[in-house]
Amino acid sequence: MQDFTAPCNPVAVVLHAVATTVPRLLAARSASEPDREALVVDGIGALTFGSWQRRAADLAERLMQRRVAPGDRVGLRFGAAEWLDYAVAYVAVQRLGAVAVPVSADAAPAELAHVLADCDAAGLVHAGGTPDWPGGWTQAAGDGAGSRCGEDLSTPHHEEPR
């Protein structure tokens, strides 16, 4: 019979592991290597860990002002050329404990409306321009300036913003 309480048992180790989120991993890497390239999109550009962290915090601040709460679904609509902005938006949504819902930039207006209505999206973050979606708020990923948002709300145990 196998002893499931032994310290070398992988099951016992997994049960005691601390949950890690993408925003927490990015924050840790940003603190240790802020100037190192994190993402490179050939022919488009690059993001360092520090700039990715700052931009995600800026966008999370703007989403918090729109009252995005943990568990809310937020559509993300970006094309291939906007992959870096998508990465920023994904982390921003996750920081707030919300759920990112990717939607193709090629989706027709009716398809966009259907997908976002079907998942009951609170809003839509996009690359820019005016997306054709009358169902809720929209936010361009590049809007806004500096951030005061430093709190990671991506775990289920947190206090609600005041």
Whether residue 147 is contained in a domain is answered as: no
Stronger pLDDT, 157 or 3, i.e. the higher one = 3
**Alpha-carbon distance 126 to 158, whole Å?**
27
Residues 6+ apart with CB under 8 A from 53: 26, 27, 30, 34, 91
CATH, residue 26 = 3.40.50.980
- Split into its structural domains, the chain has a count of 1
In a domain, 5, yes or no: no
Q: What is the pLDDT of residues 140-156, one digit of tens each?
A: 887 543 333 333 444 33
Residue 155 lies inside a defined structural domain of this protein = no
This prediction's pTM:
0.77
Packed helices 83-95 and 22-32: angle between N→C axes, nearest 10 degrees: 110
Q: Does 153 map to a domain?
A: no
- ∠ CA(151), CA(152), CA(156), 5° rounding? 125
Query: Domain containing 104: what range?
Result: 18-140
